[in-house]
Structures are given as C-alpha cells and as structure tokens.
Amino acid sequence: MTSSSSKLTLRLLIDTKREKVLFAETSKFVIDSFFNLLCLPIATIIRILNKNQMVGSLGNLYQSVENLDETYMQLDQHKDLLLKPNAPMSSLISGLLPSVNDSSSKSSSNDSTNVFYRCPHHYDHVTCDNTTRCSTCSTSMNSQMIFVGEKVANEISAEKSGFVQEVVTYMVMDDLVIQPMSFISGITLLKKFNVKEVGVLQEKVVELDMKQGVNLLKASLQSKTVLTDVFLKNHSLT
C-alpha cells in the first residue's frame, strides 16, 4: 500500500441543522475497502462483530456449529470450514477490521510473498495461507512450496490493485450508495436534499481506524444512514 493510502479518510459534508451527513468525498482506497466488505463470508462477519451482538438469528446459528461435537460432523468435513472460512481480506481492508486469522497464520503465511502451501495429498491444490483446508479432503494445506521466478505480488502497485481506478474522487452517500464525484453531481445532491442555506453545511475530515471500520460494517447491516450513525451519533451500534 502506498503512502497516499496509509491513511484512509472521508471528507464529510454535514447538514448541521438536520444533524445528517449528506455525503462524503473519498479516494479509491476507501472505496476499495467498502467494496471488499462484499467479499467477506457471513461467518467472518459474525466473528468480527461478535455473535452475541448480531441482529437476528445468525449468531445463534454460528454458536450452534461451535457447540456441536465433532462426532456429528461428516468424516471429510471440519467445523472450521464453517466457522473460519478463508476470507479474501486484502491489505486495504485489513487496516480497518480486526484480524480473523489465528496468530499462527500471521507469522507463517505472511512472511514472504513467494511462499505457497499445498495439500499433502492433492498436489494440484495450492494456497498462500497455511491455515486453508483442502477442498477435496479437508486436510490442512501446510506443505510448504517455494515459488521460483520473478516476484509478482509486490510488482503490482496499490494504484493498479483493488476494484476501482484512481482517476476521480468518489462520493459515498449516507446509505453507502457510491458514485464518481463531480461538481454537477454535488449541486444536484444539494437540490435533492433541499439545502437552501449554505451556512448550515459543514465539512469534516475523519480518519478511519479499526473501531470505525467495525462500526461501519455493523451499521451497513442495520441502517440506511450509515455515515450519520457512525460519525455523528457517535455510538457503537450495540
């Protein structure tokens, strides 16, 4: 991640009269982080948010798997396949959300971008995370392989990775509708929100941290006013 993306920020436009975030301006790096939320498995989301704080019954479903004795599982299945699915969490989003991997995987799977692991029984199954289980036999894929050749991962710059291009500033609505930012779109939104007094508008730049990342994830599952709930109401949405 480049230095320009080391700090993820949102520039909020706030209607102080109605105490509401109208929209926010931000960079590709934040947009990539938001889009990465769509890649998270449900079980990973439950682990991040804490199953006891989940709205609805998915937390109970997760706990049922936790409490189920391994004796009742199929011989070729393991509970971790359900409880700890391999989440494709990129480096962009990892700074906003707590790690859902075991501590052992941090030290072993991230030491080198040229280290890979295979299933000890199925040599054509390869991963870069030694906590992954083989999709065929559910065995831990922890047999180390060394990639020989030119590095690939580090050659891809942050600007060329992710989902969106760094060609424009992006606009994030209070309900997480995202679109490219332009002068015309900004004026159109002010008319849509019936803002007649420019004096009631206030700009506020917020730097995203892990706590806010968790709150954004939680609010996105519960609310249509995500930015207002997280940055103005200033509560943990518990």
Q: What is the pLDDT of residue 89?
A: 58
The C-alpha atoms of residue 174 and residue 188 are separated, in whole angstroms, by: 15
User: 169-181, pLDDT tens digit by residue?
Assistant: 999 999 999 999 8
What totals of helices (H) and strands (E) does the chain contain, helices first? 9, 8
Question: How confident is the model at residue 6, as a pLDDT?
Answer: 54
Under-70 pLDDT residues of the chain:
1-6, 87-95, 99-114, 146-160, 234-238
Residues in contact with 177: Cβ distance below 8 Å, sequence separation at least 6, in sequence order: none
Instruction: Give the SS3 label for residue 191.
Output: helix
Q: What is the pTM of this model?
A: 0.68
What confidence score (pLDDT) does residue 14 get? 95
**Do residues 164 and 33 touch, judged by C-beta distance below 8 A?**
no
- Say what the pLDDT of residue 183 is: 82
